[in-house]
């Protein structure tokens, strides 16, 4: 008997950029600035704002979206680790998508994260 695989339903105005074992990181095409990436697992969603000060990376601010249940603490740690590990690619992808109107590449991460 096959197990039923539950899928993530992303908002219509989103572009998926990373898939990590069902945790999907994506851009919301309706929000271009500041740089915010979203993550979803099933019907749970959270977001991460990439902060800069005078053009230099300052840090990340994780928050839950207003309309959905947020990710679990473990999923938030995985999300944060994915953003930190792929920060350069996410920023480049954001520039490609929002500035140059290019479709983002979807990166399927198969290497396990080490979350402290």
Q: Which one, of 23, 26, 64, lies nearest residue 45 by Cα?
A: 64
Task: Tell me which residue of 101, 93, 102 sits closest to 50, measured CA to CA.
Answer: 93
pTM above 0.85, yes or no: no
- pLDDT (tens digit per residue) in 8-31: 667 766 788 888 888 999 998 888
The confidence score (pLDDT) of residue 84 equals 92
Parse the chain into domains and list their residue ranges: 14-108
What is the distance between the alpha carbons of residues 5 and 22, in angstroms, rounded to a whole number? 10
99 pLDDT higher than 60: yes
Give the span between the Cα atoms of 4 and 102, in whole angstroms. 34
pLDDT at residue 115 greater than cutoff 80: no
Q: For 44-80, how does the pLDDT look when each residue is reduced to its tens digit (9 = 90+)?
A: 999 999 999 998 999 999 999 877 789 999 999 999 9
């Amino acid at each position: 008997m096959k197990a039923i695989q539950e899928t993530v339903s992303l908002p219509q105005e989103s572009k998926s950029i990373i898939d990590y074992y069902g945790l999907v990181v994506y851009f919301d095409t309706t929000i271009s600035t500041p740089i915010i990436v979203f993550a979803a697992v099933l019907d749970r969603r959270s977001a991460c704002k990439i902060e800069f000060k005078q053009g230099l990376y300052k840090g990340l601010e994780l928050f839950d979206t207003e309309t959905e249940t947020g990710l679990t603490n473990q999923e938030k740690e995985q999300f944060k680790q994915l953003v930190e590990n792929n920060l350069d690619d996410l920023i480049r992808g954001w520039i490609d998508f929002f500035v140059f109107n290019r479709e983002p590449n979807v990166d399927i991460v198969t290497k396990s994260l080490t979350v402290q």
